[in-house]
Structure 1
Amino acid sequence: MSAVYLLLLLIPLVSAQTYHWGPCPVPKVQPNFNLQQYLGRWYEIEKLPASFERGKCIEANYAVRKDGTIQVRNTQFYKQKTRVAEGTAVILDPREPAQLGVSFSYFTPYSPYWILTTDYTSVSVVYSCTDILRIFHIDFAWILGRSRFIPLGTVEYAKELLIKEGIDICRMRPTDQTGCKDN
């Protein structure tokens, strides 16, 4: 009975997210992932809804710090201001370097950040899932590009990959990348 109460308390928190019943899917990740080639700027092309990303001109920049962790610097233009969120990513298991963990607070555990595929030069497909007591899970998925706009065929390829891996993308939406200032 306490699990039901917990679910009722959590539902408002995940209303701006994409959630499904059951545990997280376990998609395949990029084989032979090369972090050095992945570093740099990526622009958000499409995503599943995320309460922390409501603006436009969303981009992420990855760089290795002196301590070996990865600086994650996300920016977006929201409510007439540029908003920046800085976090830390780590490779949790050297045998699976495409399965990163990311945190934007010292007080939160690392969340999955799995690179399902990337060619390093034009597109990346990223997936994250949080399992809540194996009763339901919260999905995040991103299609990223090295430029603000990528070919429609590339976007379709990325969506087909997500579907093939058992990820529901019916709520996936494009990110507005128009009128953005490049730094």
Structure 2
Amino acid sequence: MSLNYSLRWVFLLVAVGLFRRTKSQIFTIGSCPNPSVVSDFEVDQYLGKWYYNRNYFSIFKTGLDCTTVEYTMNEDEITIKIEGFLINNKKKKTTFGKARVVTSGKLTVTFIPNALTQGAENYWILDTDYTSYAVVWNCFPHGVMYSSTAWILTRERNPSSATIDLALAAFEKNDIDQTKLKLVNQQDCE
């Protein structure tokens, strides 16, 4: 077996391992940053329905429109329900998960196991006013690089530009790339 052939297999196995570990496609050289999070996070105020306004590319949400997430308290953990409609046939797709607060503004989230996830994910709330927007980010180290995912969640399906500006300011404050955020379609959802 040639060295070139062996390297291809090693590359393929590493790529599959990275793909299984993370649902994001934003990879960066270096270590995970340590952004500031909401220091006095109030879980009860965060609960309820949120609309995805913008996010990094995510394999789980490919082909989804009208994506929402709803957080409800269930004893000592938060239940997560993510819903959206598949673009090609308008069928509803639902994903469930659970979250626990680790420290203020930092949660650990576990989704129902599937081929694309392994274990708990970090879920950091960088900023929120609880009534109009929330900025969420996570990061996974992969040796000399890391992958990250980011979301802007809003309480309204079509928020004001002032609300989005407040959310984007959290990215700027933490020096997190906002250019990779893609607008989530929230039109014709009813």
Which category of TM-score, normalised to the shorter sequence, fits these structures?
A: 0.7 to 0.9
Tell me, yes or no, if structure 1 residue 129 matches structure 2 residue 148. Answer: no
Match of 1:86 among 96, 121, 127: 96
Q: Offset at 1:31?
A: 1.7
State TM-score, norm by structure 2.
0.83
The 5-angstrom pairing of residues 155-166 of structure 1 reads 155-166=164-175
Q: Which runs of 5+ in 1 are unaligned?
A: none
1:105–1:6 CA distance, 2 compared to 1 (3 A): farther
- Corresponding residue for residue 154 of structure 1: 163
Which of 15, 28, 33 aligns to 2:41? It is 33
Identity of aligned residues (%): 29
1:167 Cα shift?
1.1
Unaligned runs of 5+ in 2: 1-6
- 1:174 equivalent in alignment to 2:179: no
Residue in 2 that maps onto 1:10: 15
Q: Determine the C-alpha separation between the residues in 1 that align with 2:171 and 2:112.
A: 28
User: What is the RMSD computed on CA atoms of the aligned residues?
Assistant: 2.2
Residue aligning to 1:108: 118
CA deviations over 1:3-37 (Å, ceiling 9, x no partner): xx468732783796111011111110012100001
Q: Which string of whole-angstrom CA distances, capped at 9 and with x for unpartnered residues, describes residues 20-66 of structure 1?
A: 01111111001210000100000001011111112100000001113
Distance in structure 2 (CA, Å) of the matches to 1:6 and 1:163: 34
Distance in 2 separating the partners of 1:19 and 1:28: 20
Q: Deviations over 1:102-134 (max 9, x none)?
A: 11135832111111111111110111111112x
2-structure distance, mates of 1:6, 1:73: 35
Of residues 75, 81, 90, the one that matches 2:83 is: 75
* 1:83-104 alpha-carbon deviations (Å, 9 max, x no partner): 0000011112xxx221001111
Q: How many residues are paired up?
A: 173
Q: What is the TM-score when the length of structure 1 is the normalising length?
A: 0.86
Distance of aligned partners of 1:163 and 1:8 in 2 relative to their CA distance in 1, 3 Å threshold: farther
Given candidates 21, 44, 52, the residue that maps to 1:44 is 52
Q: Quick one: distance in 1 between partners of 2:178 and 2:13?
A: 24
Q: Which moved more, 1:41-50 or 1:154-163?
A: 154-163
Instruction: Tell me the CA shift for residue 153 of structure 1.
Output: 2.4
| Structure number, greater radius of gyration | 2
More helix by share: 2
SS in structure 1 opposite 2:185? coil
